[in-house]
Amino acid sequence: MNQSVQFGAGNIGRGFIGHLLWESNYRIVFVEAYSDLVKLLNSRSSYPLRLLEKNGQEKNVTINNLVAYQTEEKNNISKAIAASSIIFTAVGVKNLPAIAPLVADGIQLRLKKNPIPMNILLCENLKDAPQFFKNEVNNHLNTEGKQFLQEKVGFVGTVVARMVPVMDKRFGVDDPLFIVAEAYHKLPYDATAVKGVFPEISGLKPVQNFSSEVDKKLFIHNLGHATLAYFGYLKGYEYIHQAIADEEIKNLLDDVLNETSTSILRKYPDLDRVEVNEFVEDLKERFLNPLLMDTVYRVGRDPIRKLGEDDRIIGGIALCQSQKMFPAAIIKVAGVALNYDYDKDADALKLLNMIKEEGIEKVIQKLCGLDPENAIGEGIIRSYHQFRERFRK
């Protein structure tokens, strides 16, 4: 039986990758920092997963054939890496350096015991995650290990688009291992980064032009999600499916997705226009799914990061500009996002204080990397004030 190591047993690890591996009859080795979660997984050797379809149907499955190791169990982790067909990470970018020594130890053992190519799939929210993690792992290898890494270890980017909401009592199940996820089943990966023979795993989709998949995720999915979250919050909605059902918000979303999808098709002329349009329409259907009960607060969290010049909103503006498309709708979204002041989000409160202390013009310049006096900067500032006057009187 094939085996895979999954670093991270959180929402994506259990709610997406674990599901795909279970469907493919893999033995799953979870590596997790939280000891209580490790103990629970090992005591039951399974966990419940509820999949939510776009049509409103639910499917409950039990993911089994698994073992979990706490990150301190270095020998067990090394042995698992040496014997596995494929490795996944879903730990969060800031935690990648912490697991790099564990992966390096596993590579050193694999070199001795099972020196065949292996691939590490990075399910992380960072464009350059594969190269970043490769560098981190390389720092912990000896000369022989470094050579093996260069020749036989693939660090492979992925685009994670399955939505997994934060668990709480609203789903009616009192079980710390219970997890809910939408049934979206595709995990695109960078086929050009693969080393050796790639194993057959349910849902994994090889992509040659991986940059186009990254842009679709960031500037269609993530930017669309942000539009619903920030505008939905200002209008008093709690859930994403409520926000998209609002005609005004839906119209802005349509305009945003038209701007970004048109720009992406111009940037990547080899893409199939029908497929991109189907991707957009399918995404809007997924956002409408009331069973997900995905909150605007979860989707909108960390607004400072999401307003950064390389992230979804300002990056979407830059994408449109590069393709001679004026981003009128995204400019509105930037103004909405700058009004996000949810009092339980520390980042939102920090943003609010930055604007109070420095002024919106300075924040546009420092945070977004924009000139507050050009057409884009002036448009965002105008949008910010319009939404502030309307919703924060």
Model confidence pLDDT, tens digit, residues 71-125: 999 999 999 999 999 999 999 989 999 999 999 999 999 999 889 999 999 999 8
What global pTM score does this model have?
0.90
pLDDT the model gives residue 106: 97
Asked whether the predicted pLDDT for residue 336 surpasses 70, the reply is yes
- Taking the C-alpha atoms of residue 225 and residue 227, their distance in angstroms, rounded to an integer, is 5
Please choose, from the candidates 299, 312, 313, 301, the residue with its C-alpha nearest in 3D space to the C-alpha of residue 342.
301
Q: Which two tokens stand for residue 174?
A: 């009192």
Nearest in space to 319 (alpha carbons), one of 216, 207, 209, 250: 216
Closest CA to 219 of 162, 302, 158, 280: 280
Provide the token pair at 324. 């001679």
Q: Residue 102: what pLDDT?
A: 98
No. of H helices and E strands in the chain?
Answer: 19, 11
Rounded to whole angstroms, what are the CA distances from 165 to 11, 64, 71, 172, 238? 8, 22, 25, 14, 13
Instruction: Give me the chain's average pLDDT, please.
Output: 95
**Span 330-354, average pLDDT:** 97
Domains observed in the chain = 3-207 (3.40.50.720), 211-391 (1.10.1040.10)
Mean per-residue pLDDT, 179-183: 93
For residue 57, pLDDT beyond 90: no
Answer whether residue 42 shows pLDDT above 70.
yes
The per-residue pLDDT for range 9-26, each reduced to its tens digit, is: 999 999 999 999 999 999
